[in-house]
Amino acid sequence: DKGGHRHFMAKEIAEQPSVLSDTLNAYLTDSGIALPDPGIDFAALDRLTITACGTAYLAGFTAKYWFEQIARLPVEVDVASEFRYREPPITPNTAALFISQSGETADTLAALRYCKGKASALYSVVNVPESSIARESDLALPIHAGVEIGVASTKAFTCQLTVLLLLALKAAEDRGHLPPAARDEILTHLRALPGVFNTALGRDEVIENVAQELAEARDILFLGRGLMYPLAHEGALKLKEISYIHAEAYASGELKHGPIALIDQHVPVVVLAPRDRLFDKTVSNMQEVMARGGRVVLITDAAGAESAGAEAWRVIQMPEVSDLLAPILYALPAQLLAYHTAVAKGTDVDQPRNLAKSVTVE
């Protein structure tokens, strides 16, 4: 049942305010963040490895920035198919975290089995609590996204991010890097996030118009810096898997080390840049693109649009959100841009060619 939507993907994108509330309600109590037993003692850890595939990997890649910035916990993040065959040494006091919507991805499961008896504990963030990955981990943290049918992961991604941010906050607390007042402030912002998503969903039409124009492109680049860098990868992945347009993501600062050679008037460049402490740096990369005739789609907030919007080809304006939460909110325009571009091209949005919802072969 598509609930009145044209595709499951559209329904699942629109469900995000409600499933994000469910996720938050599952982990937040009046006194703060509560994990199911046996919990996690982050103070005892020297390192965390995060392993996953595809979009789940990109949730983990985002979480690396959170764990390292807020909790001062070193994180190694890798795609499961590389991690498992590299035979990485697992040093003492290293916990291993696996992220999987289905909980059945063959490479992720094999990576988990590789870590058994080596890591100090095995944790998973899953959407299916009865799945193999959940059953074989010491602690499985469900994301409460509900059934996801569209092959392109959307609501599972933002729910994964939410659980991962809560884990990073818990880690920061355990490790003495997050005073209660700072924690409470972030939790207040998090509780407001479903409402902010609702506001952002109301701006769908702007994105649909931009997507009509992107549908003509053969190649599209995504740029981001800091927390927006992993998300640039998610935007490119989503776009290529359902619209079949070639898309690549780069760290904004890497542009001049090679990819800028690709820029001309035929290559739209999507720049993800809320007005945070890195904004000015990203704007100067954006100007490098424009100086070479590149057409920039700037996804930013009111302050960002005010300061740099006039230079961009198109601007998609998001509601204000605190810096830490921006990757969760900015996933939405990335999803909608991919969705509307695919619809404009007439591809099979829910069942893109060559792809399966759950990859249980290696």
Q: Give the residue among 282, 321, 1, 302 at the shortest CA–CA distance from 162.
A: 321
Our finding on whether 56 is near ligand F6R (CB under 6 A) is: yes
Place of tokens 């302050």: 303
- Closest distance to ligand F6R from the beta carbon of 82 (Å): 14
**Contacting residues for 73 by C-beta, under 8 A, at least 6 apart:** 42, 45, 47, 48, 67, 171, 175
Q: Which CB, 221 or 331, lies closer to ligand F6R?
A: 331
Our finding on whether 77 is near ligand F6R (CB under 6 A) is: no
Four-CA torsion 285, 288, 294, 300, nearest 10 degrees: 30
User: Could you say which residues in the range 92-151 bind ligand F6R, by CB under 6 A?
Assistant: 100-102, 105, 108
What are the structure tokens assigned to 281, written together? 């740096």
User: Could you say which residues in the range 295-334 bind ligand F6R, by CB under 6 A?
Assistant: none
What mask of x and - would describe binding to ligand F6R in positions 238 to 267, judged by CB under 6 A? ---x--------------------------
Judged by CB under 6 A, the stretch of 50-58, 82-90, 199-207, 315-323 that binds ligand F6R is 50-58
- Closest distance to ligand F6R from the beta carbon of 156 (Å): 7
Q: How far is CA 139 from the centre of its chain?
A: 22
Our finding on whether 153 is near ligand F6R (CB under 6 A) is: yes
Our finding on whether 54 is near ligand F6R (CB under 6 A) is: yes
Q: Give the residue among 123, 134, 99 at the shortest CA–CA distance from 45.
A: 123
- Closest distance to ligand F6R from the beta carbon of 239 (Å): 10
Q: Which CB, 69 or 358, lies closer to ligand F6R?
A: 358
CA distance linking residue 251 with residue 292, whole number of Å: 18
In the sheet with 219-224, reading across from the earlier edge strand, the strands are 246-251, 219-224, 268-272, 295-300, 314-317
Chain residue whose CB lies nearest ligand F6R: 54
User: Could you say which residues in the range 171-210 bind ligand F6R, by CB under 6 A?
Assistant: none
Contact 100, 133 (CB under 8 A): yes
List interacting residues with ligand F6R (CB under 6 A): 53-56, 100-102, 105, 108, 152-153, 237, 241, 358-359
